[in-house]
Structure 1
């Protein structure tokens, strides 16, 4: 897996830096809570459960990319199983994100390769209605363009527009530092906790 500088940075901090925008629907989560991913989007637009385009995307994507698959929120047929996910891992991709479902969940988990999706099914993929690669897609209510930065962790998936990458990175780092400073100031001191609560409520409480 190619290291991306956003890997390990909390998606919550990135979302704050984005003004609480560009986060995917809560139904799209990692199949294992500890999985994280970050990388440039290689987008795939498919009909629900179609996998020929997924295979084509794996063949053309570069190491470090994240496949972002718009499966039209289909949950009847899997867009991939552990074999296809294994191909993506071997190609050096950084993960898969989709509003569809996979199958062979045990085998997929054993691969230890981050997959974020709506869940699993027993039904195989379909081979009709070939899709498109590297086109704008909408996954989890967020528009994703090829080259956008995708970051995922246990809280969900966030999309950073490619043109705003540096600005969002700097804002995110500032946010993380502020959160760390706040936690260090309060700690486990009950008086510090009470002081923080009183100051916060004085500043924000209405009426």
Structure 2
């Protein structure tokens, strides 16, 4: 395997990234038509963080974090490091020392499609990490890979400079050329949800607001009394 390190890639504007990140993963994912979600495997090592940033990607060999060291040099303020492996791995490829170096460079977090470790230390230093596993198993630094090439995580294509959003609900990717549309769509969905929230606070039911009673009728769902249910079932 011949590795490459791509430099000088285009990044989405950080002001747009920050505007989009405030909506959260679930809202943006739904607003864009349920696309971009990297799947339920990636979970926050420590809950409570919501971040957005531009992707720096690293493609590593399983059990080998050499290319993460290479990727750190390519990271800058506003970036999020996204790491995957050439085949599935749960080894602890990322921990507190990497986070210290990235934090010093202004990196906002890391997404590890493999294992991470030093969970307590990551929480104490306030560096957000999402990973597919938590594992004390260490790694070697011996096999070439690539940095800032397109990668696939959870069936989703991630290119360097694309927008990564992450919170307690998971992680998603928004193509850098689609950020403006995503902001508009997320705001529209947020406004709609706020109107629904107010309606629910006033006592309206989802059955009525979403027109689901007609759906129940079409599906043949009946409302019957407890006595009638007892007669039909012998209960």
TM-score of the superposed pair, with normalisation by structure 2:
0.80
Structure whose alpha-carbon radius of gyration is higher: 2
Aligned counterpart for 1:97 among listed residues 111, 130, 143: 111
Aligned counterpart for 1:158 among listed residues 156, 161, 172: 172
Matched position secondary structure for 1:6: helix
Q: Match for residue 71 of structure 2?
A: 57
Structure 1: gaps (5+ residues): none
Quick check: 1:115 aligned with 2:129? yes
Q: CA deviation digits over 1:67-88, x for unaligned, max 9?
A: 111134311x221221111111
Contact 1:66 1:94 in 2 (8 A): yes
Quick check: 1:73 aligned with 2:84? no
Contact 2:115 2:132 in 1 (8 A): yes
Q: Displacement, 1:204?
A: 4.4
State how far apart, in whole Å, the 2-side matches of 1:22 and 1:203 are. Answer: 32
Contact 2:57 2:160 in 1 (8 A): yes
Aligned in 2, Cα 1:47/1:7: closer, same or farther, shift over 3 Å?
Answer: same
RMSD of the TM alignment (CA)? 1.7
State how far apart, in whole Å, the 1-side matches of 2:88 and 2:110 are. Answer: 15
TM-score of the superposed pair, with normalisation by structure 1:
0.90
Contact 1:80 1:125 in 2 (8 A): no
State how far apart, in whole Å, the 2-side matches of 1:57 and 1:31 are. Answer: 21
State how far apart, in whole Å, the 2-side matches of 1:57 and 1:201 are. Answer: 50
Contact 2:25 2:169 in 1 (8 A): yes
Q: Match for residue 224 of structure 2?
A: none
- How many residues are aligned here? 201
State how far apart, in whole Å, the 1-side matches of 2:88 and 2:174 are. Answer: 22
State how far apart, in whole Å, the 1-side matches of 2:173 and 2:215 are. Answer: 30
Q: Match for residue 197 of structure 1?
A: 207
Quick check: 1:143 aligned with 2:157? yes
Aligned in 2, Cα 1:157/1:204: closer, same or farther, shift over 3 Å?
Answer: farther
Matched position secondary structure for 2:138: coil
Q: Displacement, 1:49?
A: 2.7
Q: Displacement, 1:126?
A: 1.4
State how far apart, in whole Å, the 1-side matches of 2:63 and 2:121 are. Answer: 19
Q: CA deviation digits over 1:20-44, x for unaligned, max 9?
A: 1110120101111202220111111
Structure 2: gaps (5+ residues): 1-13, 220-235
Q: CA deviation digits over 1:84-131, x for unaligned, max 9?
A: 111111111011012111122111221111101112111212112121
Quick check: 1:22 aligned with 2:22? no
